[in-house]
Amino acid sequence: MSEYALRVDPHRAGLGPETELRSLLLWLSEDEALRRDVRGRIRSTEPAWVPASASGTPMGSPGFDLLQLAVGSGLSTGSLVFAVLQWQASRRRPPALTVRRGPYEVTLTGDEAGDPEALHRIVAALENGSGEPDRDGDDDGTA
């Protein structure tokens, strides 16, 4: 099982990070090819406790800004990235997403959907951190 963390760029989140992440999670759960292999939950990266202002009222609650995905071994990184790019392409103003897998991180703007070379580099970066195909022959060619 692989784990991914997706974060929306708050400056390019048309409807706000939480709404965009909920939309993405729904998109992934409705995709017949993915729904058996992807489990997700939306979390906040901020602490649950928010200090009170001088008047004693809470200063605000943290928003949910992180989508954690657990992906079964039957699903390739390429398939997941492609599904995320399809979701971005369906948005009027696609938010930029930072995708992290272990120590590797890439940012998807949505422009990569029509560029097979870019998709291949993204998958390679998430799988082995280099942005180059895996030289051990583990590249499954799904990009």
Percent of the chain with pLDDT over 70: 76
Residue 98 near residue 9 (C-beta atoms within 8 A): yes
Type of residue at 17:
P
**Is the separation of the CB atoms in 23 and 87 below 8 Å?**
yes
Q: Tell me the CA end-to-end span of the chain in Å, nearest whole number.
A: 19
Assigned architecture for domain 2-45+62-128 = 2-Layer Sandwich (3.30)
Exposed / middle / buried, residue 32 (Cβ in 10 Å: 0-12, 13-18, 19+): exposed
Domain ranges (residues) in the chain = 2-45+62-128
In this predicted structure, what is the pLDDT of residue 53? 54
At 89, is the secondary structure helix, strand, or coil? helix
12 has pLDDT over 70: no
Exposed e or buried b for every residue in 65-93, given b needs 16+ CB within 10 A?
bbbebebeeebbbbbbbbbbbebbeeeee
Residues 6+ apart with CB under 8 A from 120: 133, 143
Q: Nearest to residue 17, comparing CAs of 82, 65, 76?
A: 65
pLDDT in tens, 115-141: 889 989 999 999 887 655 545 544 444
pTM: predicted TM-score of the whole model, two decimal places:
0.76
Residue 56 has pLDDT above 50, yes or no: yes
